[in-house]
Amino acid sequence: MCLAIPGRVIEIDGDQAEVEIGGIIRRASLALCPPVRVGQYVLLHAGFAIQVVDEEEAQETLRLLQEIGDIGEIS
Amino acid sequence: MKLVSEFRDPQLAAHLIKAMYRTSRRAVSLMEVCGTHTVAISKNGLRQMIPSPISLLSGPGCPVCVTSNRDLDKAIAVARQPGVILATFGDMMRVPGSYSSLSKERAEGCDVRVVYSTMDALRIAEANPHQKVVFYGVGFETTSPTIAASILEAKKRGITNYLVLSVHKLIPPAMKALLDSPELNLHGFICPGHVSVIIGSRPYQFISEQYHLPCVISGFEPLDILQSILMLVQALETGQAAVHIQYRRGVREEGNPVALRTLDQVFEVGDAEWRGLGLIPESGLKIRRKYRSWDAEEFLDLDVPAPRKAPGCLCGDILRGIKNPFDCPLFGGKCTPESPVGPCMVSSEGTCAAYYRYERYRVQDEDRGRRGEVPQLKPAG
């Protein structure tokens, strides 16, 4: 029940947005979401955007994971 | 899909598992609190990939599963009231209460509707002004702000036939109740990612400060979970007990202030009854008096029979992490997803449902392996 899926905001109209998830467009409420811009990703849960996804942090996590692999290959 | 598929890379997963084998020195039990994590672990076979000294226990983080029979019976009593449309999330439909389920009640003629969002329930209320639409609000901190938002929206739009029956629960008090129980020997928590999107990392501080256990807030993709397990193992091997965020792309230390403000506006903390854990003080959410016009408890005079527990069902012990589904005599026989006895077999996030769907053959094969039998492949065609 606590599932939330990342989707890209493609249009904002007041506190409503259209969010694209894997090619499907869904309408979502922005009533619970911190400020967001078109093009950013949000986590969608039960018809509400509940957070803006920090894409830099996502890249940083992937970089860290790659680093763990590199250390493993050296040692 | 962006921000999903990158976190499913098998090569990076192999790196993480190798790092775990290099780091893991002793037997540890880690609890994944959230049902969505339980499903991801079972579905991706993570339990079989990690070093065997690391045990993963499922916790009380499936909101459908921890809803008590008393609260299920109450929703059923509401659905039976004349002039009521009961709206709820799909997961709740087939959960057996003491005597019935919402699905059975609908078959008997009650107006019970499945909605994807509280906003759908509001639309039903607008379209049916002469009926009361009661939203059965089940969920943790991820979901409860969406219910709070619907009450604020109902007030704004003057919708007076929309009511909420709130059985919302809070995760950190349940974790405290588990830690205070002498029956569980835990070494660390994989904390729920989407609950933490809302509440942030601070509400778990008491676990590291008072109980000296490490916590890692995890995302839901295989790499997220594997990295979180590695972080916990590293913390345990170096004797550190702190709260760390692995799911940094979604979770901030302070959580989501907009959602927290909305939640606090509409709800106040109250006691709640949990299946398996009993009554936990200040672990639930009640609608504030200011919004009592939308509180179903204020309007419905319900005659609810005393709750009854299904004989033999171990859901309560499974939710506390002291039993696993294979310990239950009903698992896979009397209790299956098609004919569930307990809620853990009904919910898509239930531990029993996850084990049944993804892990039951593994255990059968392991048993056969122990007996020296070699599984035979059927010839093609």
Q: How confident is the model at residue B347 (pLDDT cuts 50, 70, 90)?
A: confident
Q: Which two tokens stand for residue B349?
A: 């996030």
Q: What does pLDDT average to over chain B?
A: 92
Q: Is the pLDDT of residue B370 over 60?
A: no
Residue type, B248: R
Over residues B59-74, the mean pLDDT reads 92
Phi, psi of B6 (to 5 degrees): -60, -30
pTM above 0.90, yes or no: yes
Q: Which residues lie below 8 Å from residue A38, measured CB to CB, with a gap of 6+? A: A9, A10, A11, A12
Separation in Å, CA B281 to CA A5, B30, B250? 32, 25, 29
Question: Which tens digit of pLDDT belongs to each residue from B305-342?
Answer: 888 888 899 999 999 889 999 999 999 999 999 888 99
Contact residues, chain A to chain B, C-beta under 8 Å: 1-6, 8, 21-22, 29, 31-34, 41, 43, 45-48, 50-51, 53-55, 57-58, 60-62, 64-66, 68-69, 71-72, 75
The reply to whether B26-60+181-245 and B64-170+256-299 are identical in fold is yes
Specify the pLDDT at position B364.
60
Selected residues 293-322 of chain B with any CB under 8 Å from a CB in chain A: none
Q: Which amino acid is at B246?
A: Q
Q: What is the pLDDT of residue B306?
A: 86
Query: Residue B272 pLDDT more than 90?
Result: yes
CB contact under 8 Å between A47 and B6, yes or no, is no
Q: Is the pLDDT of residue B261 over 50?
A: yes
Q: Rounded to 5, what percent of chain B is helix, strand, coil?
A: 45, 20, 35
With CB atoms and an 8 Å threshold, state whether B6 touches A69: no
Domain B64-170+256-299 = CATH 3.50.50.60 = no
Q: Which of B104, B242, B92 is nearest to B165 (CA)?
A: B92
Note the pLDDT tens digit of each residue in B42-57: 999 999 999 999 999 9
Contact call for residues B105 and B80 (beta carbons, < 8 A): yes
The DSSP secondary-structure symbol of B306 reads: P
Question: Coil, helix or strand for B222?
Answer: helix
pLDDT above 50: residue B27: yes
Please give the CATH number for the structural domain made up of B26-60+181-245: 3.40.50.11750
List Cα–Cα distances, B61 to B40, B157, B193, B266, B344, in angstroms: 13, 34, 11, 23, 11
Model confidence at B381, in pLDDT bands (50, 70, 90)? very low
Q: Are B267 and B58 in contact (CB under 8 A)?
A: no
- Closest residue on chain B to A35 (Cα): B258
E strands, chain B, in order:
28-34, 54-61, 84-88, 111-114, 132-137, 162-166, 188-191, 215-217, 243-245, 267-274, 278-287
Domains and CATH numbers, chain A: 5-68 (2.30.30.140)
Whether the pLDDT of residue B372 is over 70: the answer is no
Q: How far apart are CA B58 and CA B40, in angstroms?
A: 12
Q: Cα–Cα distance between A42 and B77 in angstroms, integer?
A: 38
Strands A16-21 and B215-217: unpaired
* ipTM greater than 0.90: yes
- Contact between B4 and A6 (Cβ < 8 Å): yes
B184: confidence class by pLDDT, cuts 50, 70, 90: confident
A20: Cβ–Cβ under 8 A, 6 or more apart, which residues?
A7, A8, A10, A26
pLDDT band at B232 (very low <50, low <70, confident <90, very high): very high
Nearest to B163 by CA among B194, B118, B96: B118
Give the DSSP per-residue string, B178-221. HHH-TT----EEEE-HHHHHHH-SGGGHHHHHHS---EEE--SS
**How far is the CA of A40 from the CAs of A12, A35, B170, in angstroms?**
11, 10, 29
Tell me the per-residue pLDDT of B136-173, one tens digit each, with 9 for 90 and over: 999 999 999 999 999 999 999 999 999 999 999 999 99
* pLDDT-based confidence at residue B378 (cuts at 50, 70, 90): very low
Closest to B229 measured CA to CA, from B39, B2, B49: B49
Q: What is the mean pLDDT of residues B201-211?
A: 98
- B60 touching A, CB under 8 A? no
- The answer to whether B191 and B324 have CB atoms below 8 angstroms apart is no
Q: Is pLDDT of B379 > 60?
A: no
Specify the pairing of strand B28-34 against strand B54-61: parallel
Q: B6 CB near a chain A CB, below 8 Å?
A: yes
Most A CBs within 10 A among B9, B135, B231, B249, hence the mutation to make, goes to B249
Please indicate whether residue B171 or residue B301 has the higher confidence score (pLDDT): B171
CA dist., res. B31 & res. B49, Å (int): 17
Q: Give per-residue pLDDT as tens, A30-50.
A: 999 999 999 999 999 999 999
Say if strands A48-52 and B84-88 run parallel, antiparallel, or are unpaired: unpaired
- The C-alpha angle B87, B91, B96, rounded to 5 degrees, equals 95
Identity of the amino acid at B73: D
- What percent of chain B lies above the pLDDT cut of 90? 81
Distances (CA, A) of B47 to B15, B333, B337: 16, 24, 22
Question: With contacts defined as CB-CB under 8 Å, which chain A residues touch B15?
Answer: 65-66, 68-69, 72
pLDDT of residue B365: 63
Neighboring chain B residues of A75 at a CB cutoff of 8 Å = 22
Among B103, B167, B99, B168, residue whose Cα is nearest residue B307: B99
* B261 Cβ under 8 Å from any chain A Cβ: no
Sign of the Cα torsion A28, A32, A37, A40 reads negative
pLDDT of residue B360: 86
pLDDT at B366 over 80: no
Domain edges within chain B: 26-60+181-245, 64-170+256-299, 329-379
Distance between CA atoms of residues B240 and B242, nearest Å: 6
Q: What percent of chain B has pLDDT over 70?
A: 95
User: Using CA atoms, how far apart are residues B294 and B267, in angstroms rounded to an integer?
Assistant: 12
Residue B121 near residue B84, CB atoms below 8 Å: no
Helix (H, G, I), strand (E, B) or coil at B47: helix
Section B22-50 average pLDDT: 94
Q: How far apart are CA A41 and CA B85, in angstroms?
A: 35
